[in-house]
Amino acid sequence: MASWPPHRYLAGMNVPLPAPPQRPAKQRKPDWIRVKAPVSAGYHETRRLMRSLNLATVCEEAACPNIGECWTKKHATVMILGDTCTRACAFCNVKTGMPRAVDPLEPEHVAVAAAELGLEHIVVTSVDRDDLPDGGASQFVKVIDALRRNTPKTTIEILTPDFRNKSEKAVEAIVAAGPDVYNHNLETVPRLYPTIRPGARYYASLRLLESVKRYASHIFTKSGLMVGLGEERLEVHQVMDDMRSADVDFLTMGQYLQPTPRHATVEEFVTPDAFKAYAAIARAKGFLLVAASPLTRSSYHAGEDFKSMQAARAAKVARAGP
């Protein structure tokens, strides 16, 4: 490869060539991040079903590394309210723009998907819809109602946005619809919010989680953190304490992966041992359940984890005695 000035000059002119465009160095992922390509029959069937029902999934839109594994088992996380978000978080691959009108058929389509995939447990999430008067809360309610009517045995986990400036009413309505698990991710430590999650407020998200328990203490609450964005260990411990003060039951922690060069860079690949250390600290802080590993995502193994959470609560109640 040719070297750069001082010795290369435009022919006949004593003018150095312009500097070559700088390509950002491609970050090499450590071995523990490698995942299988999505090629199974289950993957293609899940994809076909979602297309035919005009449903988006966070698995695809967020470029989740687990899609090969999850969709082989026909576990997909449905993303309602369209595929276009009104915010532009620095970590998220979902496209930003002016979303289309809410699809009135979507709730029934989610129920059809749950039935056809044979889901015992479904996770339903959404884009941010700051353009809607209720932030999209009524669509969550309709989806929960449609699932209860059509697939009454399916347990329901919702992963909602923060419903900026309208969270009290939104949470009240969704909780009244009766999901089994209410998840809202804090995503990162408060210091990094201005760059990573600029449209959100850390304490507003924390209050949302706290309000779920205030309205219905029996609903399991869950929240997730990405690591590798430049957070300090003690900041992560503080977030765990904040979650516990909001009575969050289940903590998920996973490695942030940069979806495209336009997104926030990975500051660190956190080792599996460091995840184990975080998990041990979190358990000591009193979470009912902790899932922490490089490839953990909010909805990864959500069905199995729901059962573990139920068992952990039952054991806790038994320990407490009559």
We find the least distance from the C-beta atom of residue 118 to ligand SF4, in angstroms, to be: 15
Choose between 66 and 221: whose C-beta lies nearer to ligand SF4.
66
How many angstroms separate the CA atoms of 32 and 35, rounded? 9
Tell me which residue of 226, 291, 222, 297 sits closest to 255, measured CA to CA. Answer: 226
Residue 64 touching ligand SF4 (CB under 6 A) = yes
- Residues facing 124 on adjacent strands: 78, 158
Which residue from 58, 111, 196, 246 is in contact with ligand SF4, where contact means CB under 6 A?
58
Choose between 66 and 258: whose C-beta lies nearer to ligand SF4.
66
We find the least distance from the C-beta atom of residue 94 to ligand SF4, in angstroms, to be: 11
Residues 293-312 that bind ligand SF4 (CB under 6 A): 297, 299-300
How many angstroms separate the CA atoms of 189 and 184, rounded? 14
Residues 198-217 that bind ligand SF4 (CB under 6 A): none
Which residue from 50, 55, 56, 70 is in contact with ligand SF4, where contact means CB under 6 A?
70
Residue 155 touching ligand SF4 (CB under 6 A) = no
Residues whose CB is less than 8 angstroms from the CB of residue 105 and which lie 6 or more positions away in sequence, other chains included: 54
Residue 75 touching ligand SF4 (CB under 6 A) = yes
Peptide bond into 6 cis (omega under 30): yes
Residue 67 touching ligand SF4 (CB under 6 A) = yes
We find the least distance from the C-beta atom of residue 63 to ligand SF4, in angstroms, to be: 9
Q: Residue 53 burial (CB < 10 Å; 0-12/13-18/19+)?
A: middle
Furthest C-alpha separation in the chain: 93
Residue 59 touching ligand SF4 (CB under 6 A) = yes
- Residue 311 C-beta-side C-alpha neighbours within 13 Å: 7
Asked if 93 and 61 count as a contact pair (C-beta separation under 8 A), the reply is yes
Choose between 75 and 164: whose C-beta lies nearer to ligand SF4.
75
Task: Show the site string, 77-106: x = touches ligand SF4 by CB under 6 A, - = not.
Answer: x-----------------------------
Choose between 50 and 132: whose C-beta lies nearer to ligand SF4.
50
How many angstroms separate the CA atoms of 307 and 195, rounded? 36
Binding residues vs ligand SF4 (CB under 6 A): 58-59, 64, 66-67, 70, 75-77, 297, 299-300
